[in-house]
A and B are shown apart, each in its own frame.
Chain A
Amino acid sequence: MIPEIGQFALILALCVAAVQGTVPIYGAVSGNASLMAVAKPAARGQFFLVLIAFCCLGYAFAQKDFSVLYVAANANSKLPLHYRLAAIWGAHEGSLLLWTFILTLWMMAVTLFSKHLPEAMRARILGVMGLVSLGFLLFMLTVSNPFERLIPAAPDGRDLNPLLQDPGMVMHPPMLYMGYVGFSVAFAFAIAALLGGNLDAAWARWSRPWTTVAWCFLTVGIALGSGWAYYELGWGGWWFWDPVENASFMPWLAGTALIHSLAVTDKRGGFKVWTVLLAILAFSLSLLGTFLVRSGVLTSVHAFATDPKRGLFILIFLAIVIGGSLLLYAWRAPRVGLGGGFDMVSREAMLLANNVLLVVAMASVLLGTLYPLFLDALGLGKISVGPPYFDTVFVPLMTPAIFLMGIGPLAQWKKASVPNLAVRLRWAFGTSVATALLLPLVLGKWTPLLSLGFLLALWIATTAAVAVRERIAHLEGAGLMARLASVPRSYWGMILAHCGIAVFIVGVTMVKGFETEQDLRMNVGESATIGGYAFQFEGAQDFVGPNYIAARGVFRVTKDGREVTTMYPEKRRYLAQRQTMTEAAIDSGMFRDLYVSLGEPLEAGAWSVRLYHKPFIDWIWGGCLIMAMGGVLAITDRRYRLAWRRASESEAAAAQPVEAPIL
């Protein structure tokens, strides 16, 4: 019964989405206020309907209702409750429901935080989002129904893929989808502006916080996924340039470019056409990622079980949504003005150059990801494009981008002077170069890539310091603290996000340059030393988990004779799927991770063991979190808070008068 309620809620949501996607947009075109007013209740209604469906599926998992095909395929009576709930998004159908749910959640947010928007604009935005949601609901109800019954019911479920039975699974997909789907808001803003013909600074100002929030979620989502791969796959890697990872990285690159481009459109009125294109691009790449992951056109470690019918559906959907938007763009964009003029050397020009670099980097990732498919489609043979290619191509593209990242915040709007910038940055440059050359020598190993990595990180850090110092110097105020406090939060957000990149680069450089590993045959009582830490193997014991059995190794770790920690790596065998999993043990620290994974049992209690010492690896994810925190800081800026407060006051003051569709 409950699953049928869920299904029925989805059907109702489909109907609501159909209304939401047409009536308000028509209302905006014809200037009919009562039609436009449909958007808000429709969006809210859709949110509650999809929420009901989502809860119904959650209930089916919680109650172990194995008469639902999706539950039977992705849970097991012995699977703990929290993983049963996370299993909602453990496979194709349910993750699509999560996607749709998050889309309606964003719609709900738009209805809540758009009081200051003109009615026509809001009607168009919600209408566009309704159309996107219509596609996904239709997709679910036709070829990916999570509520499909299994009659007769299975006596027990097949269990969740053991790789997914991990705390990472609880957090990573919702975060990632919040990011992916969050770009639909910026997309809807852009399409609404194109439809209404009002691409102005106000549009950019409204889009900015939405884009930044989505970008923060995406950043955290990608970082969580990378961290999860690091400890769950048991090889100690953290990024594999797998098609599915690339599918999340491309919208991130486009979104990063969009944030910067929006800043110019907001402040200077420039780049409008380019900004609109980026907003379309960021969401299009999110949709493309969905297609790549679910259609089976590319082989990936993370791909969902595939079905050509689904692939075809998403491709048609993709063609309509993206093709339609790009057509609208080609039609409307030529009429959009150019915005403020600026010099070849100016903050605008540098932001635009950085945008070009980010988009070229994104296009390169796209090229590398799809190239095997191109060749295969043309009958030119099968190739693989993997990490060696991406590493080779990506570093030279990112290096100039990061160089500009240091200069940009110091350059004046409109017109900057090169000699002036050179003078202001000479200390930052000198210090970075000298330190980057010497630091690897101090650390005991010099390679060009090590120096480059340090150079980029130091350049960001030192230029950020110069930027803050100059900023404060220009302010009046009593004490240093008062002056620091008077710098707007959006500025601190930018500085923090840039420093996050520096932290990230330090992590990557250190771990690539100095990580060590050993493959050992360890008898009970034997020890091995790596990175100054001595690991003593105390043997492995049998261990019984809720839905698996395991051998659990015990390693006592000491440094210079002092006890550091005890580590318990496991080799698990999941009973339902008869799959063996390596659960590495990791001791994380500010400056190093110790990583132990069990290989195979050998004779007489001995095991093959892999030990890693990974310096600074947590800085990789720490850097991503700092970037996201920078984003959060930026959207708590006074401007947005004021706008929000004033909007809610005006809401309380009077019933809303009807907005004429002048915009």
Chain B
Amino acid sequence: MSRIWIWIFAMTIPALAAAQEARPLAENPQAEARLKALAVELRCLVCQNQTLADSNAPLAEDLRREVREMIAKNMSDREIIDFLVERYGDFVLYRPPLRAATTLLWIGPFLLLIVGGTALILALRRRQKTLPDAIVSEADHERVEQLLSDGAKRP
């Protein structure tokens, strides 16, 4: 059975091979993949708000070339990012580094969650104590229905 599959597979190969396989644009696809991974977290400085990977601006192309060369020199991601930050500042990083000034940015959402959660629990506790029973009674519901249906007719 498996032999049949091998045959079928082998038959399709010439069909595929008839057209020549296109070459990757980059000479070194691995390096290009690393460039891409880096570039999506870097900001193109001249653009409105685009990553280095998405931008076609000349400076973005220059910077990609620069990063490619650094990758070829086997520099680490850290070193490459430091190289850019030294020249352009933290502005190039879409993932802001944790510093004194960005502490609130990074812990803010979780701080908000804690504050929100605490407020919620306190509010629920207080509610439980003060309000033993439902305030919207059946009569209220009926009044609402009445309002909705007869609002216009009421004197």
Contacts and interface: CB of A to CB of B under 8 A. Distances in A.
Given A301-B50, A647-B152, 11 more contacts: A268-B136, A269-B134, A341-B127, A360-B113, A364-B108, A523-B20, A526-B20, A528-B22, A647-B151, A657-B154, A659-B154
Given A381-B101, A384-B94, A522 B22 contact: yes
B20 A115 contact: no
Nearest 9 CB-CB pairings of A with B:
A386-B94, A341-B131, A269-B136, A364-B109, A388-B95, A527-B19, A340-B134, A526-B22, A116-B151
Interface in B88-108: 89-96, 101-102, 104-105, 108
Contacts of B89: 381-382
B87 to A, nearest CB: 14
B116 A301 contact: no
Interface stretch (A349-357, A469-477, A540-548): A349-357
Given A243-B49, A384-B93, A526-B19, A115 B152 contact: yes
B30 interface: no
A383 B91 contact: yes
Contact of A356 (B49, B93, B120): B120
B41 interface: yes
A537 interface: yes
Contacts of A356: 116-117, 119-120
18 contacts: A202-B143, A206-B148, A235-B53, A344-B128, A352-B123, A357-B116, A359-B116, A363-B109, A368-B105, A386-B43, A518-B24, A519-B25, A523-B20, A523-B22, A525-B20, A643-B148, A650-B152, A657-B154
A268 B119 CA distance: 21
A202 B148 contact: yes
Interface of A: 115-118, 200-202, 205-206, 233, 235, 237, 240, 242-243, 267-269, 299-301, 303, 337-344, 349, 352-353, 356-357, 359-361, 363-364, 367-368, 371, 375, 380-389, 392-393, 396-397, 414, 518-523, 525-529, 534, 536-537, 560-561, 599, 608-609, 642-643, 646-647, 650-651, 653-654, 656-657, 659-660
Nearest to B50: A301
A237 B105 contact: no
A360 B149 contact: no
Interface of B: 12, 15-16, 19-26, 32, 40-41, 43, 47-51, 53-54, 89-96, 101-102, 104-105, 108-110, 112-113, 116-117, 119-121, 123-125, 127-128, 130-136, 140-141, 143-144, 147-155
B90 A381 contact: yes
B105 A205 contact: no
B17 to A, nearest CB: 10
B32 A520 contact: no
Contact of B16 (A300, A343, A357, A534): A534
